[in-house]
Amino acid sequence: MKQQQGNLKLIKRQDVEALTTLSRSTIYSRLDTKSPYYDPEFPLPIQLSPYSVAWVEQEVIDYVAHLIEESRREGTAELRQIRIKAKRQVASGSINSN
């Protein structure tokens, strides 16, 4: 993904924690390919110095937006199925609609 000049703000881990509500250990677990919690979609940090990293703010925001979108899509489908099942039960008389 090519970043535009206006979207190149770098943020530190504490800001990533605030934007994602994830803990420090969870962030690094999402980045660790050997972890069961590895997420290949999680934004990669940029090495600033031997002991300092930062993330591109817009990449973190885009990641959170993607999670919200997926959650809404999955939740909507599940909710739709629950409503259909409930309507069928009401129609069949197995559940009282009052």
Domain range summary for the chain, segments of one domain joined by +: 9-92
Average pLDDT over residues 52-76: 90
Pick the residue with more confidence: 15 or 1?
15
Provide the 10 A C-beta neighbour count for residue 11. Answer: 18
- Is the Cβ–Cβ distance between 44 and 86 less than 8 Å? no
31: nearest Cα among 18, 47, 10, 8 = 47
Confidence (pTM): 0.71
Average pLDDT over residues 70-98: 71
